[in-house]
Structure 1
Amino acid sequence: MSAVTGVPAADALTARAHFAARLSFETDVSDVATDLGAAEPGIVVIDSRSQESWDQGHVPGAHHLPTAEIAVRAPATVPRDVTVVVYCWGPGCNGATRAALEFAKLGYRVKEMLGGFEYWAREGFPVETASGTVHHPKDPLTAPVADIACAC
């Protein structure tokens, strides 16, 4: 029995609904970088990590709002008419999922940034630290070294 087709793929209509739904919940670091670079209105990027993690480095333009403080602070600090994009450390961490849930409970439109801060840095996007902005070299396993985006 095939490891791939042992469980049959969904029919096209079911697959379409599934993948469309995923895109309504998730975005990736390249798309966030593109929108931040173009100063696209309508998104607010939230770093849901601890103060120590934020100080170590974060996405330029992001707002620091640890998950435990979202319920109390978000209504006064995050506009209701935006799409909130949350991130935490990376794919091995469900902190962004927890933060997204907190925003959803408050009635916000929210997306999780896949890859989190780890992939932001690994793809060579700028990282803001207490010492200034730094760029880590692009990891060829996560991003094309010669281009700004993967052109997926």
Structure 2
Amino acid sequence: MKSEPKYSLTLNIKPSETEIAYEHFMKKLSFETDVADLLIDLKKGYSGITVIDVRDELSYQECHIPQAISMPGNQITEKTVEMLSKDQVIVAYCWGPACNGATRACAKLSKLGYKVKELIGGLEYWRKEGGDVTGTLAENAPLYWTYKR
């Protein structure tokens, strides 16, 4: 007979009080959205969202979410975002969960006064969860960014 362990790695740090946990998770949700929610909103034609692809222009040309506009993160400035509406929520994405390009873009955009959310999992999860893509390579495009020498 196997005895129950006396120590739990999971519970080594106690969980938060329920009210604090609720505030944390609600705040987290205010910063991000998932593929399913965005996919449904775009399929329904919801007009309160602008989707931006913050990867480089070539990657965008090869494969992107059909409704997305290209706005490479390293080119986001007050001047380059003038055409974006501050009345809409901007959903930014990059390659995938190992890429912080969308996080950086959201930081820049929020500093400029835009309401933003980051797409959890980026284009990688969008494609894995069956979201449509378009571009010169579309679904045949590389799934991940790779360093080219």
Is TM-score (shorter-chain normalized) higher than 0.5?
A: yes
Q: Return the alpha-carbon distance in structure 2 between the equivalents of residues 36 and 130 of structure 1.
A: 22
Q: Return the alpha-carbon distance in structure 1 between the equivalents of residues 21 and 139 of structure 2.
A: 40
User: Is the 1:127–1:135 Cα contact (8 Å) retained in structure 2?
Assistant: no
Q: Return the alpha-carbon distance in structure 2 between the equivalents of residues 78 and 128 of structure 1.
A: 22
Q: Return the alpha-carbon distance in structure 2 between the equivalents of residues 22 and 58 of structure 1.
A: 25
Task: Tell me by how many angstroms 1:55 deviates.
Answer: 1.5
Q: Does 1:92 align with 2:98?
A: yes
SS in 2 for 1:58: coil
Q: Per the alignment, do residues 39 and 135 of structure 1 end up closer, same or farther by CA in structure 2, a change over 3 Å counting?
A: farther
Over 3 Å off, 4+ runs: 133-136
**Other-structure match for 2:10:** 4
Letter in 2 for 1:57: C
SS in 1 for 2:91: strand
Unmatched runs of 5 consecutive residues or more in structure 2: 1-6, 142-149
Instruction: Say what the alpha-carbon RMSD is for the aligned residues.
Output: 1.6
**Other-structure match for 2:80:** 73
Paired residues in the alignment total 134
Unmatched runs of 5 consecutive residues or more in structure 1: 137-152
**Other-structure match for 1:59:** 65
Q: Does 1:15 align with 2:21?
A: yes
SS in 1 for 2:15: coil
Superposition TM-score, scaled by structure 2 size:
0.85
Letter in 1 for 2:16: A
Which string of whole-angstrom CA distances, capped at 9 and with x for unpartnered residues, describes residues 30-61 of structure 1? 11111111110211001000011102200010
**Other-structure match for 2:37:** 31
Q: Of Structure 1 and Structure 2, which has the larger fraction of its residues in strand?
A: 1
Which string of whole-angstrom CA distances, capped at 9 and with x for unpartnered residues, describes residues 65-97 of structure 1? 0112221311x2111100000000000111110
**Percent identity of the aligned residues?**
41
Q: Does 1:42 align with 2:42?
A: no
**Other-structure match for 1:108:** 114
Task: Tell me by how many angstroms 1:130 deviates.
Answer: 2.4
Letter in 1 for 2:31: F
Superposition TM-score, scaled by structure 1 size:
0.84
